[in-house]
């Protein structure tokens, strides 16, 4: 197999990478990460000789030393950072410093011995496991911290997401400034094509860059010219959307991007531009962008059971989805962020009606209703029939909203971790408030495989397969990966069952030994300790 040779610079120092043309994408990324001496959670950015951001992948175009790529470690991802200086003080050490020392030690050993000893690998795994424990055990009770609910039932824990629930003004202004600086940069053709695929990896990109990619979607679908959207108004709209997504584990701005990117990919994969009007595509993309605005991390069941302000306002009818719609149109009511301000009143009414229908369709309590209606029209589906098109648009946003398992496992599995973190937080609050505990959110009962197997089998696959009945090309793009995910979690569940069985057998043996010792002592009275059967 032929090798690719890529010449690039890191901090002005020329480097050279060589890898097989069929090398897995993750190995290529690890190669560049190693060259940059970057930590596991640092963000790498690669620029081609023209200065355009490009994707780090096996598809990089070979070059020469005269036309080097430029590799930069831009920043560490704030969503994956340790819990901050105050946590470091509480723990008595800084986890980042420990990681850097380990990286330095590993580099030194590699230079001298040419291989990383197993002991160093084991130390790295222990540090990463400890980091994961810090970031995933939300209430941190094992460190002596506690959840302070004295300010009311809806106050998030101090360690809910490492930062405040709502974004701070400083945080927003920093991202806005970075976004505006980057918004005029040309995005490479390779990245534009990658953006149209379900395999897109969202974890590489910072919030400001995500806003640039959303801008690319609106531009490449010709929305700016077709609907007379001024670039600065689109930028302000995207910033206001970013600002109104909260710092929660799952329903955050990155989730908004993933749903929008999947919708964008489906538009291209199914060639919807040929069968649907541009205004319908604009409705679908904008609905995806806005579909979870101001989500606070607690689902509709919690809103209704806790009798929250949202549940009272919307009479227990899709309180969250109604709220997301309301926030979207609050943004669109402001002239500087109203991307529809140059449309006619009739066009605006059509778009508003469509966005409301799409966002309300993401309420999972309506899942069977919408899916059954779609199945009933499929045999005679007609793109000229408005009712048929409306149902298709609702199905497309539903598919996009729950599409993580259609992505590569290294992209999808971290999203499941985020979702479970959000679920467990809700069930913790439900227990503290004496509310009904959502069974699929209880940290004492739910595991990763148990949370996914039924969901994939009874929700994802039936939904995806009906869409693929209309668009057979989607079989390989979204159904095959979901089937692989089902196999993956089925094997994980079997492994957990084997582990539980082995643990139960060990406990049984231990209890038998304890009972034998107890009987011996009761029959003979105090005396020498009985021999250990394992040493006989």
Strand partners, 187: 53
Report which of 209, 213, 208 is spatially closest to residue 195, judged by C-alpha positions. Answer: 213
Sign of CA dihedral 204, 267, 278, 189: positive
- Residue where a domain terminates, one of 34, 65, 80: 80
Task: List the structure tokens of 52.
Answer: 């355009």
User: Is residue 340's pLDDT more than 80?
Assistant: yes
Same domain, 499 and 418: yes
Task: List the structure tokens of 101.
Answer: 């020392």
Contact present, 69 and 8 (Cβ < 8 Å): yes
Is 117 domain-assigned? no
Report which of 371, 299, 369, 287 is spatially closest to residue 332, judged by C-alpha positions. Answer: 287
Same domain, 266 and 382: yes
Same domain, 178 and 46: no
Is 150 domain-assigned? no
Same domain, 372 and 429: no
User: Is residue 32's pLDDT more than 70?
Assistant: yes
CA pair distance 147, 139, nearest whole angstrom: 6
Tell if the pTM clears 0.95, that is, is over it: no
Is 143 domain-assigned? no
Which phi and psi angles does 73 have, rounded to 5°? -95, 100
In which domain, by residue range, is 248 found? 167-195+203-401
Same domain, 396 and 423: no
In eight-state DSSP terms, residue 130 is: H
Is 323 domain-assigned? yes
Same domain, 74 and 27: yes
Is 128 domain-assigned? no
Q: What H or E segment, with its residue span, contains residue 19?
A: strand 13-20
Is 161 domain-assigned? no
In this prediction, residue 254 carries a pLDDT of: 97
Whether 477 is a known active-site residue: answer: no
Number of domains in the chain: 3
Q: Given 132, 161, 251, 367, which residue is catalytic?
A: 251
Is 344 domain-assigned? yes
What contacts 293, CB < 8 A, 6 or more positions away? 241, 244, 245, 323, 324, 327, 328, 331
Task: List the structure tokens of 115.
Answer: 């291989």
Percent of all residues in the chain with a pLDDT value above 70, rounded to a whole number = 77
CATH number at residue 42: 3.10.20
Same domain, 343 and 457: no
Q: 99-125, pLDDT tens digit by residue?
A: 666 666 666 666 666 666 666 676 767
Same domain, 75 and 215: no
In eight-state DSSP terms, residue 167 is: P
58 three-class SS:
coil
Task: List the structure tokens of 205.
Answer: 């990109």
Same domain, 332 and 410: no
Same domain, 329 and 455: no
Q: 167-208, pLDDT tens digit by residue?
A: 999 999 999 999 999 998 889 999 999 999 999 999 989 999
Same domain, 306 and 210: yes
Contact present, 245 and 292 (Cβ < 8 Å): yes
Same domain, 233 and 318: yes
Is 293 domain-assigned? yes
């Amino acid at each position: 197999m032929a090798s690719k040779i890529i010449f690039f610079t890191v901090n002005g120092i020329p480097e050279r990478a060589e890898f097989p043309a069929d090398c897995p994408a993750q190995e290529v990324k690890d190669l560049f990460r190693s060259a940059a001496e970057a930590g596991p959670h640092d963000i790498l950015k690669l620029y081609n000789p023209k200065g355009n951001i490009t994707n780090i992948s096996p598809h990089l175009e070979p070059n020469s030393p005269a036309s080097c790529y430029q590799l930069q470690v831009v920043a560490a991802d704030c969503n994956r950072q340790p819990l901050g200086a105050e946590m470091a003080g509480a723990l008595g050490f800084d986890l980042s410093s420990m990681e850097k020392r380990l990286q330095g030690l590993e580099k030194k050993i590699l230079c001298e011995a040419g291989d990383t000893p197993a002991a160093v690998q084991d130390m790295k795994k222990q540090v990463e496991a400890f980091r994961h424990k810090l970031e995933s055990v939300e209430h941190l009770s094992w460190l002596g911290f506690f959840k302070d609910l004295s300010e009311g039932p809806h106050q998030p824990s101090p360690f809910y997401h490492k930062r405040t629930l709502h974004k701070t003004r400083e945080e927003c202004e920093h991202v806005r400034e970075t976004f505006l600086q980057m918004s005029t940069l040309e995005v490479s053709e390779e990245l534009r094509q990658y953006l149209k695929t379900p395999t897109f990896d969202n974890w590489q990109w910072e919030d400001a860059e995500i806003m640039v990619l959303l801008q690319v979607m609106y531009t490449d679908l010709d929305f700016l010219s077709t609907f007379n959207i001024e670039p600065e108004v689109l930028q302000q709209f995207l910033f206001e959307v970013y600002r109104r997504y909260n710092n929660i584990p799952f329903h955050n701005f990155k989730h908004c991007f993933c749903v929008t990117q999947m919708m964008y990919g489906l538009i291209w994969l199914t060639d919807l531009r040929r069968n649907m009007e541009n205004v319908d595509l604009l409705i679908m993309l904008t609905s995806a962008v806005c579909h979870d605005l101001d989500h606070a991390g607690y689902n509709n069941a919690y809103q209704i059971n806790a009798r929250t302000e949202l549940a009272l306002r919307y009479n227990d009818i899709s309180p969250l989805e109604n709220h997301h719609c309301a926030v979207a149109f609050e943004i669109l009511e402001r002239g500087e962020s109203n991307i529809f301000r140059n449309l006619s009143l009739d066009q605006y009414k059509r778009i508003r009606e469509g966005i409301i229908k799409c966002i309300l369709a993401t309420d999972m309590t309506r899942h069977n209703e919408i899916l059954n209606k779609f199945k009933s029209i499929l045999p005679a589906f007609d793109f000229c029939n408005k009712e048929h098109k409306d149902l298709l648009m609702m199905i497309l946003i539903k598919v996009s909203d729950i599409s993580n398992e259609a992505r590569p496992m290294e992209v999808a599995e971290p999203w499941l971790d985020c979702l479970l973190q959000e679920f467990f937080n809700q069930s913790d609050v439900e227990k503290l408030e004496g509310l009904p505990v959502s069974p699929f959110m209880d940290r004492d009962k739910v595991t990763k495989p148990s949370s996914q197997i039924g969901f994939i089998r009874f929700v994802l696959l039936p939904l995806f397969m009906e869409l693929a009945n209309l668009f057979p090309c989607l079989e390989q793009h979204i159904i095959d990966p979901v089937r692989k995910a089902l196999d993956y979690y089925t094997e994980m569940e079997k492994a957990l069952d084997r582990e539980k069985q082995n643990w139960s057998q060990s406990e049984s043996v231990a209890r038998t030994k304890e009972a034998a010792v107890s009987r011996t002592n009761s029959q003979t009275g105090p005396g020498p300790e009985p021999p250990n059967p394992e040493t006989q």
